[in-house]
Amino acid sequence: MKEYLVLRVITKLLLPFILLFGLYVQFHGDFGPGGGFQAGVIFAAAFILYSMVFGVHAAQAILPEGILRAGIAGGVLLYASVGVLDLMLGANYLDYSPMAAHAKEGQHLGIFLVELGVGITVASVMMTVFFTFAAWRED
Amino acid sequence: MLSSHLPVLVIIIPLICAPLCILFRGKDQAFGIALLATWASFACACLITARVMTEGQISYELGGWPPPIGIEIRIDALNALILLIVSGIGSVVAPYSRNSLLLEYVEDRSSMFYSAFLLCLCGLMGVAVTGDAFNLFVFLEISSLSSYVLIALGFDRRALTASYQYLIMGTIGATFIVISIGLLYQATGTLNMADIAKRLPEHGYDRTVISAFAFMVIGAGLKIAIFPLHQWLPNAYTYAPSTVTAFLAATATKVSVYILLRFLFTVFGVHFSFEILPTAAPLLILAILAMFIPSIVACFQKNVKRVFAYSSVAQIGYMILGISFVSVTGLTAGILHLFNHALMKGALFLVLGCIFYRIGSCHIDRMAGIARRMPWTMAAFVGASLSLIGIPMTAGFISKWYLILAAYEKGWWYVTVLIVVSSLIAVIYVWRVIESAYFREPPDDLATVSEAPLSLLVPTWILVIGNVYFGIDTSLPVGLAELAAKSLMGVN
Amino acid sequence: MVEVIDIIILSLMAATVIAMVVIRNLMAVVALGGIYSLLAASIFVTLDAVDVAFTEAAVGAGISTVLFIATLALTTRIEKKPAHKPILPLFVVIVTGAVLIYGSLDMARFGDPNAAAITHVAPYYLENTKKDTGIPNVVTAVLASYRGYDTLGEVTVIFTAGIGVILLLGSWRRGLTPPSPHREDDA
Amino acid sequence: MEDFFGLYNYWIVIFLAMAGLYIVIARGNLIKKLVGLNVFQASVFILYISFGKVTGGTAPILVKGVEMYSNPLPHVLILTAIVVGVATTALGLALVVRIRKEYGTIEEEDIHSQDESM
């Protein structure tokens, strides 16, 4: 698809806004609709768009396999270890209250971290799945 | 301090170790992590069981939110027994997987295999301990998705179609379960299983609840592979890698039976499930059909793995039979058979894995005379088969004995006859294998075949010895099964 | 008003799904699937489930459709004509639907504020989320805190799918090395 | 008549779900089955969400001055279920790609006849 100049230019123009929107959805999920899952999908969509226009190899140059794999595992680990941290602080698993001075702030912090974990894993998995499909050749 | 968190630790240890396996990409590291995680889970399960037996039911509030606001883990004797089965079989199969993988699986992605294995373990145990209906679905899907992957890793290309078929049937089953949970939620306004059970009688058993009941039975039935909803099972078990077959055959259907038990007896309640609705009679008929038709089909199979896959469908019939008695003895028998069947099918499929490891096939004719080359492997096969048939001094005998007791209690002598006759069919299909392995001349190309390596033999024999041990000292499984049966029936 | 919009969208969905049954061009079917998801998302908006609508639009109409198209590119685009009359499936579907409709007869009516689902657990979340977590989006609070364990399971499911796809289709950087099929001599 | 208006929403959704289920079990094309599965699940999701609707309520994002909110719990459950659904789809499609490579077809019948003839 390399010869479509309009597509290439518009994609490049759009990308930062899509990514920005992804970040907004990720960090604004407490107040409006959205959260880690939706943000992860939007984030992934940006790179999927990029790889559709510029080729999978170009996208892989930005996000190598190793980073994506670390992301897949890292998000789950982040989520699960927030719970382990709570255990160490003497609370039940995934009880975020003791993570800050006040229970309410602890909850807020916990939700923030957990949503971040969701976002990382979802984005990495979606990109990996798409790249895997896109790179598959019948031989 | 940690001991109060055991109910959640048993789940999150494999859950955390699954991503760790990927981060440490080396094959040995991944194997080490998987092994430690399964053993740690098993240790937790043992401690939990000990606590349940002394203190009774354990409840754990996740996130510190009291149910039904938050999700609760709730463990009684039945949950503890299922937990023991899953984690126990997992800890035996995990070391076994290391060597059998060499032949059956591409090495460079073995860390992911272990990760998927841990996820399957985590999902199955998560289903077994949760007290929340929707959470049960989530963990059921973790175990299902990972088992689709594990099955598809089989050598034969038919593993792919088997996995696809299981994915379709399994997802339909899971969606039916979701529909049922949704209907229950709309009727009672809660997702906590104990809370649903409390609120259902107040709500009344209206048409919504009856519909929810139907969807739950069919959905769970698809996952259990109750005859005639078993079509996905034979192919899945036949073409999956040996390790996977052994693990899934011993655990996955058991957990699904647990779901059925939990919903029929605890959530919907005995009164509604069996007194208002005539559930027992159809279950009895299906159970008896399952005891015979798949057994007969098994007698005509050439692939030994397939023989025992059909045999699994038949054995599920015995568990359903136990349920259909709707008595403490019957349930004890059914639950006991869950435990014992895990031991015997686990052992049998591990034996077949040993054979596949050496000759690359489980075809009955290729196994001709193999007992001379692999005496220990075949001895294990004989031991596990005796348990499958139900010879005294083996675990299989105990559960059949309780089934017969339950039938006697009801005065259903014809059921007793049917149990004995169906066991005789098992003799036929087992004998075909033994005849081939012991009494036929080995072909020339078998001359180089030697005994399976110790790393495969030891786990296999642990399960075989388990079959004998639990046939003699029955206090643990019978004690737990009786406790579970009594609490399910609401008798103290 | 909402009811009218609802019934219009639902009718459109019914038309979409009938077209999906009939049409055998898979690309068209997949596109219709995307439209179906988009319509579902608008239904979710009318039912006040904005978070769900967002997700359904992003996933059902977005990612799923992209994956389907990627698969079509690797496989084939035309479905074969069904060989025989699907009597058994039709029977199964009619019975299942009948059981569901039977169950719906005793359900609380649509939008009923006195339904058990509205009055039992849900009010706790609406009343206490602000006090407990300080977050105005109740869905986020329930998702990440009250039912955080469910969401941990959900992330694990996605994780499972990720490693499953890698296991099945191989690593995309090094080219593909799927396990070569080895036929057993049995049938 | 009132019954009809209180339940029509459920009935159309039930029709949609059953149409999806029909595609899954009646069709032999592996991709079409998965599309059907998606339709089936999405329709069940709508059923869930309609359980949470309160007439006159608004989206459960707390705002000063609003008293009536729809029930947030089904929304949370369905968010989870959508994720599970897309995970299943991704895996199913990966299987389809592999099956196509090994068998050269994605029609159930052809796969069947190939396995039979072996």
Residue C185: inside a domain: no
pLDDT, residue C161, reads 95
Query: Are C75 and C119 in the same domain?
Result: no
Q: Is the confidence at residue B298, as pLDDT, over 80?
A: yes
CA distances from B56 to B51, B60, B80, B483, B487 (A): 7, 13, 11, 10, 11
Burial C147-175 (b: 16+ CB within 10 A, else e): bbbbbbbbbbbbbbbbbbbbbbbbbbeee
Are B31 and B101 within 8 A, CB to CB?
no
Residue D101 in this model has a pLDDT that exceeds 50? yes
Mean pLDDT computed over B474-485: 90
Same domain assignment for residues C70 and C119: no
DSSP label at residue B64 = G
Identify the H or E element spanning B74: strand B72-75
How far apart are the CA of B19 and the nearest CA of chain A, in angstroms? Answer: 5
* The three-state (H, E, C) secondary structure of chain D, written as one string: CHHHHHHHHHHHHHHHHHHHHHHHHHCCEHHHHHHHHHHHHHHHHHHHHHHHCCCCCECCECCCCCCCECCHHHHHHHHHHHHHHHHHHHHHHHHHHHHHHHHCCCEHHHHHHHHHHC
Mean pLDDT (whole number) for C67-84:
84
Torsional sign, CA B75, B80, B85, B87: positive
In chain A, % of residues over pLDDT 90: 47
What count of other Cβ atoms lies within 10 Å of the Cβ of residue B322? 31
pLDDT tens-digit map of B231-254: 999 999 999 988 899 999 999 999
Residue-wise pLDDT tens digits, B43-62: 999 999 999 988 889 999 99
Distance from CA of C118 to the nearest CA of D (A): 6
The answer to whether position C104 is within a domain reads no
Alpha-carbon span B63 to B51, nearest angstrom:
22
Q: Which residue of A has its CA nearest to C144?
A: A111
Does the pLDDT value for residue C175 go beyond 70?
no
Q: Give the confidence band of C134 by pLDDT, cuts at 50, 70, 90.
A: confident
What mean pLDDT comes out for the span B186-202? 92
The answer to whether position C121 is within a domain reads yes
- CA C114 to centroid of chain Cα atoms: 28
Residue B369: both structure tokens together: 């005379």
Average pLDDT estimate for B263-289: 92
Cβ A121 vs Cβ C155: under 8 Å: yes
pLDDT the model gives residue D58: 83
Claim to verify: residue C54 and residue C120 sit in the same structural domain? no
| Contact assignment for A32 to D61 by CB distance below 8 Å | yes
Amino acid B227: pLDDT: 85
Neighbours of A10 (CB within 10 A): 13
List beta partners, residue B58.
B75
Is C32 part of any domain? yes
Helix axes B77-104, B328-359, angle to 10 degrees: 10
- Residue of chain C minimizing CA distance to D37: C33
Residue B59's DSSP bridge partners are B74
Which chains have 3 or more CB–CB distances shorter than 8 Å to chain C? A, B, D
Beta carbons of B235 and B161 less than 8 angstroms apart = yes
Give the list of residues 6+ apart from residue B445 with CB closer than 8 angstroms, or none: none
CA proximity to C152, closest of A124, A72, A115? A115
Q: Where are the alpha helices (DSSP H) in B59-157?
A: 77-104, 110-129, 133-152
CB distance B145–D87 less than 8 Å? yes
Q: How far is CA B147 from CA A69, B248, C160, D88, in A?
A: 21, 8, 10, 12
pLDDT in the model for residue C185: 37
- If you average pLDDT over residues A86-108, what whole number do you get? 89
pLDDT at B378 over 60: yes
The 10 Å Cβ neighbour count of residue A5 is: 8
> Looking at the 3D structure of chain C, how many domains does it have?
2
pLDDT of residue B492: 64
- For C164, the closest of B145, B157, B179 (CB atoms) is B145
Which range has the top average pLDDT, B153-157, C55-59, D90-94?
D90-94
Taking CB atoms and an 8 Å limit, are C173 and A64 in contact across chains?
A: yes
> In this complex, do C179 and B141 lie within 8 Å of one another by their Cβ atoms?
no
- How far apart, in whole angstroms, are the C-alpha atoms of residue C159 and residue C153? 10
User: Contact C2/C46 with Cβ under 8 angstroms?
Assistant: yes
Task: Write out C20-59 in H/E/C secondary structure.
Answer: HHHCCEHHHHHHHHHHHHHHHHHHHHHCCCHHHHHHHHHH
Using a CB-CB cut-off of 8 Å, the residues of chain B touching A95 are 62-65
Q: How many domains does chain D have?
A: 1
pLDDT, position C172: 46
**C interface mutation test: which of B5, B21, B65, B213 has the most C CBs within 10 A?**
B65
Residues B349, B238: Cα–Cα separation, whole Å: 10
Share of chain B above pLDDT 90, in %: 71
Domain that holds residue A56: 5-135
Q: How far apart are CA B253 and CA B250, in angstroms?
A: 7
Per the structure, the complete domain to which residue D59 belongs is given by 2-117
Within chain C, where are the H helices? 2-22, 26-46, 50-56, 65-74, 87-104, 116-119, 122-133, 138-141, 148-169
Let me know if residue C154 belongs to a domain. yes
pLDDT band at B287 (very low <50, low <70, confident <90, very high): very high
D108 touches chain C (CB under 8 A): no
For residue range B115-131, list pLDDT tens digits in order: 999 999 999 999 999 99
According to DSSP, the residues that pair with B74 across neighbouring strands are B59
State mean pLDDT over B453-467.
Answer: 91
Query: Looking at beta carbons, which residues of chain C come within 8 Å of D86?
Result: 59-60, 63-64, 161
* B214 vs B370 pLDDT, higher one: B214
Of A77, A90, A95, which has the smallest distance from its Cβ to B63's Cβ? A95
Asked if C166 lies within 8 A of A128 by C-beta distance, the reply is yes
**Residue extents of the structural domains in chain B:** 278-492
Q: Grade residue B331 by pLDDT with cuts at 50, 70 and 90.
A: very high
Q: Are C61 and C34 in contact (CB under 8 A)?
A: yes
Q: Which of residues 38-97 of A touch D (CB under 8 A)?
A: none
Q: What is the pLDDT of residues D4-40, one digit of tens each?
A: 666 778 888 999 999 999 999 998 899 999 999 999 9
CA distance B116 to B148: 10
What type of residue is B273?
S
**Cβ–Cβ of C168/B108 closer than 8 Å?**
no
**Would an 8 Å CB–CB cutoff place C150 in contact with chain D?**
yes
Nearest residue, CB atoms, D95 vs list B134, B160, B191: B160
* Shortest CA gap A112–chain B (Å): 15
Give the DSSP letter string of B367-398: TTTHHHH-HHHHHHHHHHHHHHHT-TTSHHHH
Mutation target vs C (from A126, A138, A139; most C CBs, 10 A cutoff): A126
Classify residue C93: in a domain, yes or no. no
Residue of D nearest to C16 (CA): D16
Nearest alpha carbon to residue B18 among C156, C41, C85, D6 = C156
Q: Flag if D95 and B163 touch (Cβ within 8 Å).
A: yes
* Mean pLDDT confidence for C166-182: 55
CA distance D66 to chain B (A): 23
- Residues paired with residue D29 on neighbouring β-strands, in sequence order: D107
* Domain enclosing residue C48, as ranges: 1-82
What are D37-68's pLDDT values in tens digits? Answer: 999 999 999 999 988 888 878 888 888 878 78
Instruction: Supply the ipTM of this predicted assembly.
Output: 0.94
Compute the C-alpha angle B244/B246/B248, nearest 5°. 65
List CB contacts (< 8 A) between A132 and chain D.
Answer: 94
Tell me how far CA of residue D102 lies from CA of A12, B348, C163, D105, D107, in angstroms. Answer: 39, 30, 21, 8, 13
A93 and B5 in contact by Cβ < 8 A? yes
What count of CB pairs under 8 Å joins B to C? 157
pLDDT at B107: 56
- For residue A131, the distance in angstroms to the closest alpha carbon of chain C comes to 7
* Among candidates D58, D97, D105 on the partner chain, residue whose Cβ is nearest the Cβ of C71: D97
**Global pTM?**
0.94
Both C74 and C5 in one domain: the answer is: yes
pLDDT at res. C182: 37
- How far, in Å, CA of C110 to CA of D93, rounded? 36
Chain C residue numbers touching D54 (CB-CB < 8 A): 48, 111-113, 118
Give D115's pLDDT tier (boundaries 50, 70, 90): confident
Q: Does D64 touch chain C (CB under 8 A)?
A: no
The pLDDT tens digits of the residues spanning B140-188 come to: 999 999 999 999 988 788 999 999 999 999 999 999 999 999 999 999 9
Q: Do D12 and C10 touch (CB under 8 A)?
A: yes
**Least confidently predicted of B217-231, C124-138, D82-96:** C124-138
Distance of CA B242 to the CA centre of its chain: 15
Res. C54: pLDDT tops 80:
yes
For residues B73 and D82, what is the distance between their CA atoms, to the nearest angstrom? Answer: 24
Q: Is the peptide bond before D72 cis (omega within 30 degrees of 0)?
A: no
Residue C178 has pLDDT above 70, yes or no: no
Mean pLDDT of chain B: 90
CB neighbour list of residue B386: distance below 8 Å, 6 or more residues apart: B394, B396
CA distance A62 to A50: 10
Tell me what pLDDT residue C171 has.
56
**Is C184 part of any domain?**
no
pLDDT of B102 reads 52
Q: Which CATH number does the domain housing residue D107 bear?
A: 1.10.287.3510
Confidence of residue C186 (pLDDT cuts 50, 70, 90): very low
Type of residue numbered A70? A
Q: Which residues make Cβ contacts (< 8 Å) with residue B22, sequence separation at least 6? A: A69, A72, A73, B30, B111, B112, B115, C163
| Residue B260: closest CA among B171, B308, B322 | B322
The verdict on a CB contact (< 8 Å) between C70 and A134 is: yes
Q: Which of B145, B186, B360 sits opposite C108 (nearest CB)?
A: B186
Residue in D80, D92, D115 nearest the CB of B138: D80
> Per the CB < 8 Å rule, is C159 touching A125?
yes
Number of structural domains in chain A: 1
Cβ-defined contact of A73 to B19 (cutoff 8 Å): yes
> Does A95 contact B12 at a Cβ distance shorter than 8 Å?
no
Helix-helix angle C65-74:A103-135, to 10 degrees: 20
How many interchain CB pairs under 8 A, A with B? 52
Closest residue in A to D93 (Cα) is A133
Is residue D109 within 8 Å of D40, Cβ to Cβ? no
Specify the 3-state DSSP secondary structure of C181. Answer: coil
Residue C145 DSSP label: I
The dihedrals phi and psi of B195, each to the nearest 5 degrees, come to: -70, -40
B-chain residues near A73 (CB < 8 A): 19-20, 22-23
Q: Give dist(CA A61, CA B35) in Å, integer.
A: 36
List the beta bridge partners of residue B132.
B192
Tell me how close the Cα of B77 comes to any Cα of chain C, in angstroms. Answer: 23
